[in-house]
Amino acid sequence: MKIRVLVTGLLSCTLMTAPLVQSAPNGDRVQQVIKYKSYYDSLWASFYDGNVSLNVSGSVYDDFSGAVSTSLYAGYYNETTGESWSISCHFPTGGNEVSINQVNEDWVLGLKGTLDPANEKCVATNVAAPVVIDLSGQATRDYRNSSTGHGKSMSLGEAWKYANKSYQFSADMTGTVNSMDGPWGSSVSTSRNYNIQKIK
């Protein structure tokens, strides 16, 4: 099943135009500050049927040393029973779990991976078995936004300047998370830096 929606979840993966992603404290959590060199892509998908909610997300970026990092998250909550679980995994070598590719004027999307609580790269709560995400889709025209700019960044004592273009848009996603097949309300944010020049 699939759904086409204007997703307020865009707020959850909106990026700044500089290669720095930072969020204010969220309850007892403070989200990680991420510096990226040439791109930061994130994809969010959510299912809710009035009782059960399931949220999944993924992000991928390259740092100033050239290494690619990928993160995946899945979280579940049943309002009737109070049952909940969550798992997040970080893969410092990068991979194909998150794919956001522009093809002409369209975007082709993928969020695929296995989040295994036995994997030392994962942190899980109330998860006994692997969570398998297998979603794919494309951008819709329900919501689209783009911006351009220029900026500077410092990393490990080195300074860089760049031009930037970022996009946020809604998406159609189909597929499953374990046995749950949606429908999935989805949103995407991607930020790309170019003309990157080292100035220090």
What does pTM read for this prediction?
Answer: 0.78
**Span of 14-28, 113-127, 128-142 with lowest mean pLDDT:** 14-28
Q: Is the pLDDT at 83 greater than 70, yes or no? A: yes
Q: What is the DSSP letter of 191?
A: E
Q: Does the pLDDT at position 44 exceed 60?
A: yes
Q: What is the pLDDT of residues 129-186, one digit of tens each?
A: 999 999 999 999 899 898 998 888 777 777 878 888 899 999 999 999 998 998 898 9
pLDDT tens digits, 45-55: 999 999 999 99
User: What are φ and ψ of residue 13, in 5° steps?
Assistant: -135, 25
pLDDT at 34: 58
Q: What percent of the chain has pLDDT over 90?
A: 48
| 63-69: long-range pairs with CB below 8 Å, 24+ | 63/35, 63/36, 63/37, 63/155, 64/35, 64/37, 64/153, 64/155, 64/156, 64/158, 64/160, 66/37, 67/92, 67/93, 67/94, 68/93, 68/94, 69/94
If one compares 128 and 10, the residue with the highest pLDDT of the two is 128
CA separation for the pair 58, 126 (Å, rounded): 20
Indicate whether 10 pLDDT > 60: no
**Strands 52-62, 68-78: pairing kind:** antiparallel
Note the pLDDT of residue 19.
39
Q: How far apart are the first and last CA of the chain?
A: 51
Q: Answer yes or no: is pLDDT of 59 > 80.
A: yes
Q: What is residue 22's predicted lDDT score, i.e. its pLDDT?
A: 34
